[in-house]
Amino acid sequence: MEGLEVTVLLGLTILVGTLLAPRIRLALPLVLVVLGLLLGFIPALREVQLPPETVLLLFLPVMLFWESLTTSLRSIRRDFRYILPMSTLLVVASAFAVAGVGVLFGMPWEIALILGAAVAPPDATAVAALGRLLPRRMFMKLKAESLTNDGTALVLYAIAVSLAVGGQITPLTVTWTVLVSYVGGIAAGVVVAFLGALLLRGTNRTSVLNVTLLLIPFAAFLVAEIIHASGVLAVVVAGLIVSFVSPRVTTASSRRQTDAVWPFGVFLLNGALFILIGLEVQYVVHEISGAMIGWLALTSIAVWATLVVVRYVFQLLTAPFQRQSAQRPPRGLRARSRVVSTVAGMRGAVSLAIALSVPSTLAEGSSGRDEVVFVTAGVILLSLLVQGPLLPAVVRWARMPVDHAEQEEYELAERTISGAALAALDDLAMEHGVGQEVRDRVRTEGYQMLELANAKALAREQELIDAEARELDALLAQPDTTTTAPATPIVDADDPLATGGVTDALDGTTLQMIATSTDVDVMQRSPLVRHEEHTRLKLALLERKREVLLGLRRSGTIDDVVVRRIAARLDLEQVRLQGIEEFD
């Protein structure tokens, strides 16, 4: 099939899967894999094959860069002692345990190690749809773990492929490979991010900013590959740096465009990968014998079970070395948390990309790619089919406390930046030459925003109190059944302002002006002057809010996720005041 036909077919399949998944209540990745399997019954589609390097070099940089941009730096710093062993030692232990299982099932050692490297790293994108069910801190730890464990898996993958093609591997070469991969990957990410930040700082054109942002992950991956370092680590490091400096080197308009386009692009790439794995499984099934299919299916089940057991045991063994917080959770809660983390460690797009990037021909013309792709697909299917539906039940069983930290930090930040903006209002008004009338108007708006933020915080606290009261009433079998009907506002039908100035709009009658005035002199410039002053002052207050917001982030008072939420609202307000820049 031609490239254009394949592109249209992938897009249509993703569309069908997106429409179908909510109706049949299955995870979208699982639906897309099944659709890929169904498409694989068509011989022409079954032959659709991407070059191995294309999957690794085209898909991974974009997906990992976006995950890095949306990851909490504070979570990485706070839980570094948990993330480091989980993203390095656990990946190595999982890969070698899977390799041992593969050897027991008759695989050559080199092929079994390639399989282990492919399925070792859990993928946070696989549980993104279920992330709301997890406590926020646990979800961010799993996401941060997935960003760095890919680098470890790809180092193992490179070593395993080198062994499979007949290369000479010694302890010294392994050590050198690991050092070059990690140190070189981090250095490449830092250099590319620094150069990208300089370019971003030098312009305010939305098109230039976003094209530069798009090139950063590919440039980081390319530089790392040139020096034989880890491209994954380069992309992750570059993404974390860009995420930190982005508010100061980009514009509100470019950030709004980025937040709209990148999630959609990553969604399409993830969907295409899951469809391709269904096609790959059909291709493998038609290339091997029926007896081999049964053997590979048993291997997939054994590998999946091994990964689950190794993850749980590793957490159990490393628990004494984890940093304990001042408020140490009960022992039973820690044990249940390990079970939740084990079930949440599902495999996904990264494992697909590694499996599909395996060379078609290995040592002496032998090929183990089909076996690796089949077993990897089986492990992912088992993750989606078993762990996915099981995760909500496990979370309910664990009875983990509700985490309100993010919402509390959001409310704190909103009140802090609103208060700081009001405190600086007079100074900013004098600096920008704003008159008293506009100053009083903006001050009133600011107090209204601050009162709204306080009201939201009080309402949330009251909701928690009411929820506890309802639970207590349920236990006492005396629920509070009193209800209060909402007050119905009285609207004067003759008042055009109260009715929005629209009479019988549903009947198709003409819309009316909602307000008119005969006292406005159209020749005077005072309304324009007041509007310009109001815009200048509001923009200055937005900059003041951003400064305070970034200060709260630097001090560790609020999380990066909270910063992104509030910054997105501030950007939207700035775009509303300034207008959207034209695309050059």
Q: Are 130 and 367 in contact (CB under 8 A)?
A: no
> Of 82, 81, 139, 72, nearest to 344 (Cα)?
139
> Of 105, 100, 97, 95, nearest to 299 (Cα)?
105
Structure tokens at 490: 């009285």
From first to last of its 584 residues, the chain has per-residue pLDDT tens of 567 888 898 899 999 999 998 898 877 888 888 898 898 888 888 777 766 667 677 888 888 888 888 888 888 888 888 888 988 899 999 999 999 999 998 888 888 999 999 999 987 666 665 566 677 778 888 888 887 787 788 888 888 887 777 666 777 877 888 888 889 999 999 999 999 999 988 888 888 899 999 999 999 999 998 998 888 889 989 999 999 898 888 888 888 888 888 989 888 988 888 888 788 778 878 877 777 888 889 999 999 999 999 999 999 888 777 655 545 556 677 888 888 888 888 887 778 778 877 877 665 445 677 888 889 988 988 887 888 788 888 888 888 777 778 888 888 888 888 888 888 888 888 888 887 877 788 888 877 777 777 777 787 788 888 887 887 777 776 555 444 444 444 444 444 434 344 344 444 444 443 444 444 444 444 566 777 887 888 888 899 999 999 999 988 888 888 899 999 999 988 888 887 654 44
- Give the Cα separation of 494 and 25 in Å (integer): 49
Give the 3-state secondary structure percentages of the chain, helix then strand then coil, rounded to 5: 75, 0, 25
Give the burial class of 520: count Cβ atoms within 10 A of its Cβ; 0-12 exposed, 13-18 middle, 19 or more buried: exposed
Domains parsed from the chain with CATH numbers: 3-325+336-403 (1.20.1530.20), 404-474+526-584 (no CATH)
What per-residue confidence (pLDDT) applies to 497? 38
What per-residue confidence (pLDDT) applies to 328? 57
Q: Which are the contacts of 178, defined by CB distance < 8 A and separation ≥ 6?
A: 155
Q: Which are the contacts of 350, defined by CB distance < 8 A and separation ≥ 6?
A: 60, 63, 121, 123, 146, 150, 153
349-356 and 60-69 are packed helices; what angle lies between their axes, rounded to 10 degrees?
Answer: 160
206-226 and 185-201 are packed helices; what angle lies between their axes, rounded to 10 degrees?
Answer: 160
290-318 and 109-119 are packed helices; what angle lies between their axes, rounded to 10 degrees?
Answer: 60
What per-residue confidence (pLDDT) applies to 352? 77
What per-residue confidence (pLDDT) applies to 486? 46
DSSP 367-412: --HHHHHHHHHHHHHHIIIIIHHHHHHHHHHHTPPP--HHHHHHHH
DSSP 460-518: HHHHHHHHHHHHHHHHTT-------PPPPPP--TT-TTTTTT-SSGGGTPPP--S---S
What per-residue confidence (pLDDT) applies to 381? 83
Q: Are 149 and 121 in contact (CB under 8 A)?
A: yes
DSSP 142-163: HHHHHHHHHHHHHHHHHHHHHH
Q: CA dist 21 to 17, 30, 476, 484, Å?
A: 6, 9, 41, 39
Phi, psi torsion values for 171, nearest 5 degrees: -55, -35
> What's the N-to-C CA distance of the chain in angstroms?
36
Q: Are 241 and 189 in contact (CB under 8 A)?
A: yes
What per-residue confidence (pLDDT) applies to 362? 64
What per-residue confidence (pLDDT) applies to 18? 92
- Give the Cα separation of 149 and 152 in Å (integer): 5
CB atoms within 10 A of CB 383: 27
What per-residue confidence (pLDDT) applies to 216? 94
What per-residue confidence (pLDDT) applies to 6? 82
Run of H or E including 175: helix 171-179
Give the burial class of 243: count Cβ atoms within 10 A of its Cβ; 0-12 exposed, 13-18 middle, 19 or more buried: buried
Q: Which amino acid is at 377?
A: A
What per-residue confidence (pLDDT) applies to 92? 92
Q: CA dist 424 to 152, 403, 431, Å?
A: 49, 34, 11
> Of 355, 65, 53, nearest to 219 (Cα)?
65
Q: Are 346 and 126 in contact (CB under 8 A)?
A: yes
Q: Which residue has the tokens 């305010």?
A: 204
pTM for the full model?
Answer: 0.79
